[in-house]
Amino acid sequence: MPSAAASWGRIYAIVLRYIYLLRGSWPRIIEQMYWPTVQMIIWGFVTQFFMTNSDWVAQATGVLLSAVLLWDVLFRSQLGVSVPFMEELFARNLGHLFASPLRPAELILALLVISLLRTLLGVGTAAVLAIPLYHISVFEIGLPLIAFFTSLLVFGWSVGLVIASLLLRYGLGVDSLAWASIFALAPLSGIYYPIATLPDWLQPVAWVLPTSHVFEGMRKVLFDGVFDTGFFLNAVGLNVIYLILGSWIFYRAFRSARNRGLLLQVGE
């Protein structure tokens, strides 16, 4: 077993490597904040329109904006894992990393830490800007916000690990998956409408996603002022399964890459 201090030292080294990258590139820092802010502005106007034209939405100030910001937590956290991993492929650096004492589990942990930092930077900026712009504060959700944020963050990690596995196996030829794949889950996640809106046959599929439970839980808080622990516990349980599954797939991809000699060759 590796010593904990040495292991944390290596995880810190990888986190530092991505912070160096961010620090040395202002476009990357701006990019973290850009999309969440643009989404927030667009949906803020949509929300304002509905607030003056729809009784339904007017009951829950900021429901759409909260949904957008929480959806972006998922998107950013997934990108936070898959994009830094993709950068190692672009840099042809995987050989150096995996010939060092760095273990795959340590790389995964470092990617999760940097994903958290990038998500906080991006979505946090947009959430704070929404307060002076629309007088809507997602922070008014209170403690349940932490539960929603964490659930979406963890599910984003799981999806990010699967995408990193595909990048390891198929190279940069599948890099578009990093940007596009999460949107396939959007219609099933009930971000802007209840799961009951979906056709009957599709609803069981939606309920196996933690995102469905998070957004239903969010609406419960915003419409009824109630934090439904059932939704929360379902999301936690599903997240545990998906995170284990994502890590297992990454390990399988890593083993396959070692067998096929891809750690030295992976690229386009």
Partner 1 sequence: MSLIIEVENLFKAFGSVHALDGISFNVERGAICGLLGANGAGKTTTIAVLLGLLTPTSGSVRILGRDFLADRYAVLPHMNFSSPYVDLPQRLTVQENLDVYARLYGVNDRNSRIDRLYDALDLAEYRDRAYSTLSAGQKTRVALAKALVNQPELLLLDEPTASMDPDTADRIRHYLKDYRARSGATILFASHNMNEVERMCDQVLILHQGRIVDSGSPARMIAAHGRVTLEEVFLDVVRTPAAAARENPAPGQNL
Which of 218, 209, 195, 205 lies closest to 239 in space, CA to CA? 209
| Burial (Cβ within 10 Å: 0-12, 13-18, ≥19) of residue 179 | middle
Cα maximum dimension of the chain: 62
Contact between residue 147 and residue 234 where contact means Cβ atoms under 8 Å apart: no
- Whose Cβ is closer to partner 1: residue 104's or residue 186's? 104
- Residues 95 to 154: which contact partner 1 by CB under 8 A? 95-103
- Residues 85 to 104: which contact partner 1 by CB under 8 A? 87-88, 90-103
| Span of 4-12, 50-58, 125-133, 187-195 interacting with partner 1 by CB under 8 A | 4-12
Which of 184, 150, 149, 157 lies closest to 244 in space, CA to CA? 157
Angle of the 4-23 helix axis to the 26-53 helix axis, nearest 10: 80
Binding-residue total with partner 1 (CB under 8 A): 37
CB of 92 to partner 1, least distance (A): 4
Which of 205, 79, 63 lies closest to 148 in space, CA to CA? 63
Binding mask 230-259 for partner 1 (x = CB under 8 A): -------------------------x--xx
CB of 90 to partner 1, least distance (A): 8
CB of 191 to partner 1, least distance (A): 34
Is residue 30 close enough to count as binding partner 1 by CB under 8 A? no
Is residue 10 close enough to count as binding partner 1 by CB under 8 A? yes
CB of 122 to partner 1, least distance (A): 19
Rounded Cα distance, 86 and 258, in Å: 18
In the numeric block, the tokens 């994502």 are attached to 246
Question: Which parts of this chain interact with partner 1 (CB under 8 A)?
Answer: 2, 6, 9-10, 12-14, 16-17, 20-21, 24-25, 87-88, 90-103, 255, 258-261, 263-265
